[in-house]
Structure 1
Amino acid sequence: MAEETARGAAQEAATDEGDVTEEVAELADLAARDARRERLAKELLDSETRYASVLEAFETVDQLVAAAICAEGFGEGQDLDEDLDLYEGPADAALARHQPLVSPRMRCLFATMRQLAVLSRATALALQKSMREYGPDRVGAILVRFADATYLYEEYAGAHTSLQQEIARLGSHPEFVQIWRRAARLVANKGLALPAIFPAQDGATAAATSGFTSSFSFSSSSSSTFTTSSQLPTTLSSFLILPIQRIPRYEMLLEEMRREANAVESLEALSAHLGTGRKSYDWWAKEQLMQLRLYTHGD
């Protein structure tokens, strides 16, 4: 009898110990998942901040292009150090009368990139606030909030596809090279940076972009876009394709987050927005948006 009692007590103790071990394992797994979600959310925030910064830096290129068009259109030596915003209207007028350095369609592409810069900056600020107040739990909801504006990516992708020849021509045009270098120097004064995308660069441009290599990376560690100087954009074409590449970067990060959290509803809502075509866009971008739907709805 005593032996049976002892055996029963031992079995009960073993069961309790097994339960405790299982609970400890579950808690450890939850802690590991939380840590991974925190890492992924921070990675999304960091990459969005860098992405917004480089688009914001490009705004100065567009302003200098407008100034150059204005000077060409009116035949006057304009002072490009004046308030660059003043050139937007006159540049449009000059476009209507002349064959400028940058075509009206290319100017529209640049304008859309500036809108994407505003969108990305707002997204980064919202992610930063959400991470500070709630941790990684509401990241999906933040992306859904801005999903209505993803049609800008569709517009950009469609225009980008139709402008390949002009992009190639513009990227090697001496006047545009000078504009890019001047913009690199100007944005350096604002704490921003443009990559040196042309083979020949003067010392000032090199100094303005010297900090770019170590900080320029948009994607997750498992699928890094730019991590070394050899991977930085080296042509105007590779620079202007950055917004198109951003969609699959979202896709990869969201897929990793989906594995770590029960926030599928938010990601499904984002996917529905991204998959809604409002303008025609190239097949590649459409394929990426379809893949995002598969990722967020898949098993």
Structure 2
Amino acid sequence: MLSRDADSLYWLSRYVERAENTARVLDVAYRMASMPIAYNEAHTNEWESALVTAGAIDQFRTVYDEVTPERVIEFLAFSDANPSSIQRCFDTARQNARSVRGSLTSEMWEAINSAWLDLRRFKAEKVQVENLPTFLNLVKETSLRYDGSAMRTMLRNDAYWFSRLGVYIERADNTARVLDVKYHVLLPQDAEVGGGIDYYQWAAILRSVSALVSYQWVYHQNLRPWLVADLLILREEMPRSLAACYAALSRHLDDIGHRYGTSGPSQRLARASHARLANQTIEDIFQHGLHEFLQEFIAENNKLGLAITNQYLG
């Protein structure tokens, strides 16, 4: 496979996954802003935390001087000033899809192209807070259609493997950021840890990664921050966990290595990160510091992304 085709497939999947992740971040902000009045008596910062989670707070401040729900929705969903807005993600994803049209199945192309057309309609109609869930559901359903089409219809070859690498690099980054922001940014200073607002926020975080029911199946008890972290970091049976993402990354990088007859830095980095996650306990992570652990993980994940680019996509 040509490196430019591998690059297009990799970034196509990254941008579709990023769009879904941004939709999930906005969904969390919307849910928290819709909390009962009793919970909202404390000063909350759910819309600002959405910008922090998406890594867009600094860019936002170059455009706007005040955080409001309408401005956050516009910036994260449609703004041309934000290269990772949902609209920009689908624009770039569609461009990449067109360049590798012969490597995609018809179902995958239709998922991307129809979403791109639908998003232009939503942009023209100006999404407001009250109709935000309809828009976010469209984005999430598009990602599910694209991901499901890839899983069901693509040949298991290098095109498929490079596509999956993009999914899991992006997904791991988002899961780490969502956890880090909740632990250090979201809870108001005057709210009680373990109180009603804290519980509601952890539940919203789990809903954002479709893991609330999974948590109940695994732990059979009320929400506990360290158990939420355990589920989203160390549990390989949880599809969005860091451990699950790195199990998949290691497997697909090994598939690529076997296909081309050689391994390199990306295989070694993925295996090392997967091994560290497999040998960690949540007690070790909290003792070291959850924030520190997540920041180190995000840096290592970025390092792996760069290694993949240098080894295969450059």
In the superposition, the TM-score normalised over structure 1's length comes to: 0.36
In the superposition, the TM-score normalised over structure 2's length comes to: 0.35
Max radius of gyration: which structure? 1
